[in-house]
């Protein structure tokens, strides 16, 4: 029998608010000294009480809106009870039966030209708080350090319906969700640093049937690729079990990254009874529709819409547009560069050239310097693109100028001027170098005169070298051909 996988994902996203979910402590736990972002509330001292962070609620609503969810008119918080040393209060303030957002969807772009877009339903988005960080030191005989800075940092959990059909789709879903969340600016959504954590539920069923098999929850994946790998492993494992006539146990399994296997962590019998009940310290939260309207109006244009717009406005290819829009700041930059183009430059042609540079050399240099150094302003970038497009500078010179811009933050024109990188196009300036090349390379001249026209390229190369790349190679070739043709006759 052939099986097909049914996959649903639960993603925890850490919100980038300046303070914690229920107290005014700063939420910069990653950079702060351990246990310096704490107060009676997040330490769970007796008598301390939570107060809802309004900004965190806004971020949750914005995420829900971007995921096409319905925002609740009244929502509430619940206590999720379990005992663990990293859980300060002995319960987590979460949301159980009335989440802030429900019933949305996310559309995954077609995997290739033949495929269709795939819509994944979002079941819910709810708010909760993070726990403290435990650091185990030494082995079995070691000890554990606790950093409470992270306790109480706001989280949202985005729960999909089991609409994903393959590990590749699961990875596409994560990538799309990350992009959306980063566009909104509500989280860094970084799996490696833990601001974006994904658990997967996966089951198998005979291909073509509608029912759902027994599901297994897989945890501990800390890269997008690990989610795909873990699912591939788990699908294979379950297929083996079922093919041998075995039964799948409902359990939680952990992905062991270096061994590339999942191992059982907790059986159904050992599952927690969280004993949820409404949080009595927080009255139900009424969400004013006007508030939601304001947030809706403030939402940025998200990647899919922007991709289509860039394609129709500037004639960018789908490939270029997808690259440009994958990260919001890149797309913002691109549009700023196009906006700063010189009067008279034709928008589509300029945009195409700008996209090439931004996706190419600019991206390479930006990645290499890792966020440090001076800014290359959109105006400077636009002037560089314009000079290149107008053939005022060569490709090599443009790269050199851009590198210099990253180094010094200076304007493109100033660098071109300073370094004398402007192409030499007038005959008067080119002639000495051309004559020199002809005089110094009689062999090449001979070849040409015997009909080997490619010999011109060699001579142009000599001119370029002599001019340190400044000579306009097209003009130089024309001049060389002219002079040699004169000798023919």
Partner 1 sequence: MPGAGDIFITAHAARVLMDRGELSSTDLTKHCLSRISALEDRLHSFLTVLESSALQDAAASDARRRSGTALGPLDGIPIAIKDNISTAGVRTTAGSKILDSYVPPFDAHVVERLRASGAVIVGKANLDEFAMGSSNENSAFGPVRNPWDVNRVPGGSSGGPAAAVSAGEAVVSLGSDTGGSIRQPAALCGIVGMKPTYGLVSRYGLIAFASSLDQIGPFARDVTDCAILLEAISGHDPRDSTSLQRPRETFVGSLRGGIKGVRVGVPREYLVDGIEPGVRRAFESALQTLTSLGAAVEECSLPLTDQALAVYYILAPSEASANLARFDGFKYGHSSPGARTAWDTMDLSRAEGFGSEVKRRILLGGYALSAGYYDAYYKKAQQVRTLIRREFADAFERFDALVTPTSPTVAFKLGSRTQDPLSMYLSDVCTIPVNIAGLPGISLPGGMSDGLPVGLQVIGPQFGDARILRIAYSYEQATEWHLKRPEIN
- Footprint of partner 1 (CB under 8 A): 40, 43-52, 79, 81, 83, 85, 88-91, 144, 146, 273, 275-277, 280-283
Shortest reach from residue 230's CB to partner 1, in Å: 28
Q: Shortest CA distance to 365 belongs to which of 405, 323, 324, 312?
A: 405
CA dist 118 and 110 (Å) reads 7
Between 86 and 478, whose beta carbon lies closer to partner 1? 86
Cβ neighbors of 295 (< 8 A, separation 6 or more) are 58, 61, 62, 65
Shortest reach from residue 278's CB to partner 1, in Å: 8
Beta-sheet pairing, 78-81 with 91-94: antiparallel
Shortest reach from residue 135's CB to partner 1, in Å: 13
Shortest reach from residue 256's CB to partner 1, in Å: 23
Q: Which helix (H) or strand (E) holds 120?
A: strand 118-129
Quick check: 101 and 61 in contact, CB under 8 A?
yes
Between 45 and 349, whose beta carbon lies closer to partner 1? 45
Beta-sheet pairing, 251-256 with 261-267: antiparallel
Shortest reach from residue 61's CB to partner 1, in Å: 19
Quick check: 488 and 480 in contact, CB under 8 A?
no
DSSP assignment letter at 359: I
Shortest reach from residue 141's CB to partner 1, in Å: 11
Between 47 and 139, whose beta carbon lies closer to partner 1? 47
Quick check: 307 and 318 in contact, CB under 8 A?
yes
Task: Report the DSSP beta bridge partners of residue 7.
Answer: 164, 202
Between 134 and 299, whose beta carbon lies closer to partner 1? 134
Between 283 and 294, whose beta carbon lies closer to partner 1? 283
Shortest reach from residue 58's CB to partner 1, in Å: 17
CA dist 162 and 6 (Å) reads 6
Mutual angle of helices 395-408 and 378-389, in 10-degree steps: 170
- 410: which 2 tokens? 């200076």
Between 268 and 452, whose beta carbon lies closer to partner 1? 268
């Amino acid at each position: 029998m052939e099986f097909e996988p049914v996959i649903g994902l639960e993603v925890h996203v850490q919100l980038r608010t300046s303070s914690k979910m229920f107290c005014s402590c700063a939420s910069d736990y990653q950079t702060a000294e351990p246990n310096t972002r704490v107060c009676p509330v997040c330490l769970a001292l007796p008598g301390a009480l939570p107060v809802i962070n309004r900004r965190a609620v806004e971020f949750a609503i914005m995420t829900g809106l971007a995921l096409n969810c319905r925002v609740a008119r009244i929502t509430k918080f619940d206590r999720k009870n379990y005992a663990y040393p990293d859980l300060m209060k002995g319960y987590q303030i979460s949301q159980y039966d009335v989440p802030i957002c429900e019933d949305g969807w996310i559309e995954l772009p077609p995997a290739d030209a033949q495929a269709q877009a795939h819509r994944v339903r979002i079941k819910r988005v709810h708010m909760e708080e993070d726990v403290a960080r435990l650091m185990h030191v030494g082995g079995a005989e070691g000890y554990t350090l606790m950093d409470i800075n992270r306790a109480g940092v706001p989280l949202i959990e985005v729960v999909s319906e089991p609409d994903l059909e393959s590990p590749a789709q699961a990875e596409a879903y994560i990538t799309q969700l990350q992009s959306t969340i980063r566009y909104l600016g509500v989280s860094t959504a970084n799996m490696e640093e833990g601001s974006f954590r994904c658990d997967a539920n996966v089951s198998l069923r005979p291909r073509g049937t509608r029912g759902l098999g027994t599901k297994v929850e897989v945890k501990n994946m800390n890269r997008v690729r690990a989610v795909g790998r873990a699912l591939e492993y788990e699908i294979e494992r379950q297929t083996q079990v079922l093919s041998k006539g075995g039964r799948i146990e409902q359990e939680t399994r952990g992905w062991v990254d270096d061994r590339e296997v999942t191992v059982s962590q907790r059986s159904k019998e050992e599952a927690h009874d969280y004993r949820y009940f409404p949080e009595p310290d927080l009255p139900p939260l009424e969400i004013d529709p006007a508030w939601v309207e304001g947030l809706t109006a403030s939402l940025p244009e998200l990647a899919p819409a922007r991709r289509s717009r860039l394609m129709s406005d500037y004639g960018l290819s789908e490939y270029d547009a997808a690259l440009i829009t994958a990260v919001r700041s890149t797309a913002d930059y691109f549009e700023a560069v196009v906006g700063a183009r010189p009067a008279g430059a034709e928008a589509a042609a300029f945009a195409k050239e700008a996209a090439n540079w931004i996706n190419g050399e600019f991206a390479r240099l930006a990645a290499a310097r890792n966020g440090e150094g001076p800014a290359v302003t959109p105006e400077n970038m636009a002037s560089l693109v314009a000079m290149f497009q107008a053939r005022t500078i060569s490709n090599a010179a443009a790269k050199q100028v851009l590198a210099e811009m990253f180094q010094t933050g200076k304007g493109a024109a100033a660098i071109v001027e300073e370094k004398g990188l402007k192409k030499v196009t007038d005959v008067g300036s080119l002639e000495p170098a051309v004559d020199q090349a002809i005089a110094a390379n009689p062999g090449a001249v001979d070849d040409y005169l015997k009909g080997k026209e490619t010999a011109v390229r060699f001579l142009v190369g000599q001119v370029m070298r002599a001019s340190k790349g400044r000579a306009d190679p097209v003009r130089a070739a024309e001049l060389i051909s002219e002079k040699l043709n004169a000798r023919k006759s």
